[in-house]
């Protein structure tokens, strides 16, 4: 299936109760590199499962569903702030098909529609693919995070 065809088939929806099996499958097929760069010590998997069990207004999780599977997801932390934190992940076997670009653009559009001033995120210094994507979509690398292993990126809406 061509990239444009796949993107047309994606259904974006908020993650909620009953999505635990799709989430478990998404993380179960995650390769070693993705686990090391995105889900170290299971942090992001625990975060999305916690949200399923106890959603709250400060966090938002959206799933990109494709053919009954979780193709990827985007999340916002500190949603009530003027510039929330965001993150994005794409299923390993669907990389290179434009889903990451689709998800980051979805995040940018969602935040703008909610009147946010921008978005920020961090990504591992070894995650070159993500760095290129974020910079292509208007994020600016602000420097190294205190932990020394992640870069801090900021996206601001400009009039």
Chain segment 1-14, per-residue pLDDT in tens: 565 788 999 999 99
For residue 11, being part of any structural domain is answered with: yes
First to last CA, the chain: 37
Whether 8 is in a domain gets the answer yes
DSSP string, the chain: --HHHHHHH-EEEE--TT-HHHHHHHHHT--HHHHHHH-GGGHHHHHHHHHHHS--TT-EEEEEEETTEEEEEEEEESTTSSS-EEEEEE-GGGTTSSHHHHHHHHHHHHHHHTT--EEEEEEETT-HHHHHHHHHTT-EEEEE-TTSSEEEEEEE---
Residue 136 forms part of a structural domain: no
Looking at the domain assignment, is residue 131 inside a domain? Answer: no
Is residue 131 a contact partner of residue 141, using CB atoms and an 8 Å limit?
yes
- Which residues pair with residue 152 across a beta bridge? 122, 143
Strand ranges of the sheet holding 11-14, from the earlier edge strand across to the other edge:
11-14, 60-66, 69-77, 85-90, 118-124, 150-156, 140-144
Per-residue pLDDT reduced to its tens digit, 18-74? 999 999 999 999 999 998 888 888 889 999 999 999 999 999 999 999 999 999 999
| In a domain? residue 89 | yes
Separation CA 63–CA 75 (nearest Å):
9
Give the structural domain span for 102: 3-117
CATH number at residue 12: 3.40.630.30
Structural domain count, the chain: 1
pLDDT digits (tens, 9 = 90+) for 68-112: 999 999 999 999 999 999 999 999 999 999 999 999 999 999 999
Q: Does residue 39 fall inside a structural domain?
A: yes
Is residue 70 within 8 A of residue 22, CB to CB? The reply is: yes
In a domain? residue 78: yes
Does residue 92 form part of some domain? yes
Q: What predicted TM-score, i.e. pTM, was given to this entire model? A: 0.93
């Amino acid at each position: 299936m061509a990239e444009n065809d796949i993107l047309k088939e994606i259904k974006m929806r908020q993650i909620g109760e009953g999505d635990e099996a799709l989430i478990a499958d998404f993380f179960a097929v995650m390769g070693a590199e993705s686990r090391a760069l995105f889900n170290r010590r299971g942090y992001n998997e625990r975060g999305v499962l916690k949200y399923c069990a106890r959603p709250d207004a400060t966090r938002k999780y959206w799933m990109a569903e494709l053919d009954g599977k979780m193709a990827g997801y985007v999340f916002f932390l500190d949603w009530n702030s003027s510039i929330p934190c965001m993150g994005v992940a794409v299923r390993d076997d669907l990389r290179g098909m434009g889903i990451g670009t689709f998800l980051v653009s979805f995040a940018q559009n969602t935040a703008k529609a909610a009147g946010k001033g921008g978005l920020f995120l961090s990504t591992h210094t070894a995650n070159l693919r993500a760095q290129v994507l974020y910079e292509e979509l208007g994020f600016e690398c602000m420097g190294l995070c205190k932990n020394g292993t992640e870069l801090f990126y900021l996206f601001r809406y400009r009039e």
